[in-house]
Structure 1
Amino acid sequence: MGSSIVLMRILTPSEYGLIGALTIFIAFSALLVDSGFSRALLNRKHITDEEYSTVFYFNLLFSILLYLLLFAAAPLIAQLFHDPRLILISRVLFLSLILNAAGMIQMTLLTKKANFKGITRVNLAAQVIAVIVAIVMALNGYGVWSLVVQNLLIALFRTLFLWSYSRWTPLKQFSLKLLHSFTRLSYKLVTTSLINAVFNNIYPSIIAYFYPNAMHQVGYYNQAQKYQDIPFGILSNTFRSVSILILPEINDQTERLHRVVSKMMKSLAFLSFPIGFLMILIAEPTFLFLFQEKWLPAVPYFRILTLAGIISPFAFILNELFIAREKANYFLGVEIIRRLILVLLIALLFRYGIMGLAASWVIYTYVTLIISLILSRRLIRYSLSAFASDVLPYLLLALISSGIAWFITRNIQHDLLFIFTGSVIVAFFYLLFCRLLRLEMIQEIKEWIITQK
């Protein structure tokens, strides 16, 4: 995080915009390379080394073929986004597809063993090495190439460390029959994930395509999206890691599934709402303090996208529920409906500029969560009203606490003092209200603290 702040202080929004415009191709291609097999491997209880090896060779070969296709398409991509620099940038950046493909099975093995500490160490080590090199390059005037090299080094070192940490190497075996055995679940998952990847990353591309010479706006939007997603991404990945292991084990116990999902929703609400409203409150002084004045135009995008980020982790839990119940058709069906809604919203709000596009994402996020809850009611009788009962107390208390903090801090001019005071006030009143109302999650935290003594 600190290193990213340093890079943003050195580099320009336009340089970040060049990378942001290509994000959709990287995300789409990475999922296409995986083809849903990693998730299919996680869902199957007993896997042989031959099966792992088969998927490994498929991923690697497909990544090479896809890279060659993207290499040839680079001039078209540059023309699409009105910037000839993207030809060379994309050809170098897309090499990360091959590097990442070489470590997919090792990552799957660590996830299957619930070795999340190992995964964290691998990712952290790769990030540290890459960012040190990127900062040195940025300080020496390499501009956007600092970001390109950073992405490549993260992919390279993550894969090298995964090979070292997992201690798994592929057998010299490949079986089309074994590969085919995974396709029943994987093709639906990969179709869903591909749709997801395109639409989750489509906004920077829309801005780059429809607004020529606006790479700085792509940079503002992309970085606003990236930073608002950090806390919610951590929450989503944490709960997703737990749900991957728990939900498949109890997928035939409807009542127990209902209780587990309800508990996860309450836990997420307890954390997500106060974090989100605090982020909106302190957005402007935080951007000024961390990134300097040149990044202030990103603040409106950051605030509106945070309204979507607040509820995004809840959708992750419901998606895992559909997969655990082996309802990949639900998963796929929901994604298709969601994306049709998003296309309609983009068409309706595009005329209002980039803020209109951001608003379309927020509306879409809430509408599609409601759709997922309607389907979860059919699966485990976890309805929209049950969800509202679980999360509304935390939502209201977080909103009230943030309102109190805004009222007290509204005249503070010093950025760091505003951030500190606002954070303390939100945390104090939120925890106080939760305790006074004896909400379930605060009681559990109390019990956990007692057991640690």
Structure 2
Amino acid sequence: MSLKAHVARSTLWSGVQIIGNQATSFLVFLVLTHFLSPGDIGVVALAVSFIEIMTPLMRAGLPEALIQRETLDELEADTCFWSGVALSLVMGAALFLAAPAIARSFASPALGPVLQALSALLPITALSATHEGRLTRSFGFKALAVRTLIANLIGGAVGVAMAIGGYGVWSLVVQRLIASFFSVVFIWISCRWVPRLRFSMVAFRRMSGFGAHMTLVTFLMSLNGRIFDFLLGFFMGPAAVGYMRVASRVLDMVTQFAVNPLTSVALPTLSRLQQDRPALSRAFIRLVRTSALMTFPAYFGLAIVAPDLVPLAFGRQWAASGELLSILCLSAIPITLQYFTWPAMAAVGRSDQASLGISAIVASATVITAIAAPFGLIAVVIAHVARTYLTLPLSMYLLRRSTGIESRPVLTAILHPLAAAVVMGLALLLLRPLLHDLHPTTRVAVLIVAGAALYGGLVLTTARALVKDLKTAFSRS
């Protein structure tokens, strides 16, 4: 099978994995929002934020180093596994002990026990990190998809049952723990690789040269995604975090569907082409263009329907989150591009450049949020969107410097999807007031159908070459 066919097939299975994961986790979250207050949701979001920013440090970039290698070394794989297990135990214990102090610093007593319970996710996750890396480098996304779907169905079922039974915050905590446990079980069954009890300091140093920068990149990316939770929790309290979490959770779900099936295959795909820069550039452009084709209409359409959609799904008490979501969706362009710049840099061994760019992004996010926080939650979100556009030129410059990929062909590749999505968004914006007398459910349905029909027609009539290229790629899978 050709690399292009591998990418297409892996993208499809990655999509299955993401849809299953998002559907079950979003269902649990949706149920919880009807049982919990914004403050309760904020507490869970803060606890999860600590886990997510510590996970890259626990992985130390070693599974990513296995993926990036042109050939797989079994000694490196064993070293990767045992390093991850040791680091996870140390970091999990440290987080467990520090949880009470963290809860006091955020003036949220409920945060402590939730954070202590979720600290177990670090060693649980470490048990599957190397297996996941082995499957990823061999494009084993079908196995990854099946195990994620089954594990999340089990965890989701338990979480929903507990929420209905009145267990509140702990419903989401238990759901995450159970899903992670069964994920480990199923990935060991799928991979059928058992690590040998051996460790090589030479192999560790060899991988950590790449992994150190990759760790910094993934850590900063996680911090960038969660910096608002920390700063909002510090400046405004858990309730503000809760409103932001509902808005960002909906956007995350859309991003997972539209972007992540492609970003999940970006590193192994581009790594295979690291010695052929013209082919690397073509593959990068194809990934970005395909992502834009799905991301732009999803984001722009969501911006229009969010004020109706969020109260319908979560309840009237979350109407403020709908306003926040509409603003967040305006960051479609930089999000689409930046999701692929960092894997491209890592694929050619220049994760140091990626860490430089993300450091600037995190620093700017911290400064802008701290400045905007006294003016309210809306001001913080507007500042966040503005910051994504202001830092985009730096990301594109570092991409060209690291990989030789020029900005102009990348931007040209997204023009057709962008133009079609903008026209669709403007049309829906004009149509929405005309539907004012309809029930919100009917109004959302009409807007979605109209937007999909208009965007699909525009793409089919103005970007036939793009559609033909995509059809050819997936028909070979």
> What residue is the counterpart of 1:218 in the other structure?
241
SS of the equivalent of 1:137 reads: helix
Q: Distance in 1 between matches of 2:204 and 2:473?
A: 45
Query: Does the 8 Å contact 1:229/1:309 carry over to 2?
Result: no
CA RMSD of aligned residues (A): 2.1
Residue 365 in structure 1 maps to residue 383 in structure 2: no
Q: Distance in 2 between matches of 1:167 and 1:229?
A: 32
Q: For 1:252, which of 255, 269, 275 is the aligned residue?
A: 275
Q: Distance in 2 between matches of 1:7 and 1:22?
A: 16
Q: Distance in 2 between matches of 1:36 and 1:234?
A: 25
For structure 2, the residue ranges without an aligned partner over 5 or more in a row are 1-22
Residue 69 in structure 1 maps to residue 94 in structure 2: yes
Q: Distance in 2 between matches of 1:422 and 1:113?
A: 41
CA, structure 1 residues 438+146, in 2 after alignment: closer, same or farther (shift >3 Å)? Answer: closer
Question: Post-superposition shift, 1:341?
Answer: 2.5
Q: For 1:243, which of 260, 263, 266 is the aligned residue?
A: 266
> What residue is the counterpart of 2:69 in the other structure?
44
What TM-score, normalized by structure 1, do the two folds share? Answer: 0.93
> What residue is the counterpart of 1:272 in the other structure?
295
Q: Distance in 2 between matches of 1:407 and 1:160?
A: 51
Give the letter aligned to residue 203 of structure 1.
F
> What residue is the counterpart of 1:26 in the other structure?
51
Query: Does the 8 Å contact 2:289/2:414 carry over to 1?
Result: yes
Query: Does the 8 Å contact 1:289/1:415 carry over to 2?
Result: yes
> What residue is the counterpart of 1:385 in the other structure?
408
Q: For 1:336, which of 344, 359, 367 is the aligned residue?
A: 359
Question: Post-superposition shift, 1:381?
Answer: 4.7
Query: Does the 8 Å contact 2:128/2:187 carry over to 1?
Result: yes
Query: Does the 8 Å contact 2:416/2:462 carry over to 1?
Result: no
CA-to-aligned-CA distance 1:366-415 (integer Å, 9 cap, x gap) = 22322121233335554333333222332122111122223223232312
Q: Distance in 2 between matches of 1:442 and 1:429?
A: 16
> What residue is the counterpart of 2:371 in the other structure?
348
Give the aligned length: 449
Query: Does the 8 Å contact 1:273/1:395 carry over to 2?
Result: yes
Q: Distance in 2 between matches of 1:429 and 1:237?
A: 25
SS of the equivalent of 2:34 reads: helix
CA-to-aligned-CA distance 1:242-288 (integer Å, 9 cap, x gap) = 32232122222222222222222221221111111111111122122
Q: Distance in 1 between matches of 2:292 and 2:328?
A: 18
Q: For 1:122, which of 118, 140, 147 is the aligned residue?
A: 147
SS of the equivalent of 1:326 reads: coil
For structure 1, the residue ranges without an aligned partner over 5 or more in a row are none
Residue 142 in structure 1 maps to residue 167 in structure 2: yes
Query: Does the 8 Å contact 2:81/2:130 carry over to 1?
Result: yes
Question: Post-superposition shift, 1:78?
Answer: 0.8
Question: Post-superposition shift, 1:446?
Answer: 6.3
> What residue is the counterpart of 1:106 in the other structure?
131
Question: Post-superposition shift, 1:156?
Answer: 1.0
Give the letter aligned to residue 257 of structure 2.
I
Q: For 2:195, which of 143, 149, 170 is the aligned residue?
A: 170
Question: Post-superposition shift, 1:309?
Answer: 4.7
Q: Distance in 1 between matches of 2:65 and 2:157?
A: 36
Question: Post-superposition shift, 1:124?
Answer: 1.3
Q: Distance in 2 between matches of 1:291 and 1:248?
A: 41
Residue 395 in structure 1 maps to residue 425 in structure 2: no
Query: Does the 8 Å contact 1:233/1:313 carry over to 2?
Result: no
State how 1:271-350 maps to structure 2 within 5 Å: 271-309=294-332, 311-350=334-373
Question: Post-superposition shift, 1:41?
Answer: 0.8
Q: Distance in 2 between matches of 1:64 and 1:448?
A: 43
Question: Post-superposition shift, 1:237?
Answer: 2.3
CA-to-aligned-CA distance 1:67-119 (integer Å, 9 cap, x gap) = 11112211111111111122211111111111111111111122122111211
Residue 182 in structure 1 maps to residue 182 in structure 2: no
> What residue is the counterpart of 1:90 in the other structure?
115
Query: Does the 8 Å contact 2:231/2:369 carry over to 1?
Result: no
Q: Distance in 1 between matches of 2:473 and 2:280?
A: 23
SS of the equivalent of 1:282 reads: helix
CA, structure 1 residues 363+406, in 2 after alignment: closer, same or farther (shift >3 Å)? Answer: closer
CA-to-aligned-CA distance 1:13-58 (integer Å, 9 cap, x gap) = 2221111112331012111110010101111122233321221111
> What residue is the counterpart of 1:152 in the other structure?
177
Q: Distance in 2 between matches of 1:437 and 1:266?
A: 14
CA, structure 1 residues 409+319, in 2 after alignment: closer, same or farther (shift >3 Å)? Answer: same
Q: Distance in 2 between matches of 1:202 and 1:379?
A: 27
Query: Does the 8 Å contact 1:228/1:306 carry over to 2?
Result: yes
Identity of aligned residues (%): 23
What TM-score, normalized by structure 2, do the two folds share? Answer: 0.88
Q: Distance in 1 between matches of 2:28 and 2:110?
A: 25
SS of the equivalent of 1:30 reads: helix
> What residue is the counterpart of 1:411 in the other structure?
434
Q: Distance in 1 between matches of 2:321 and 2:116?
A: 28
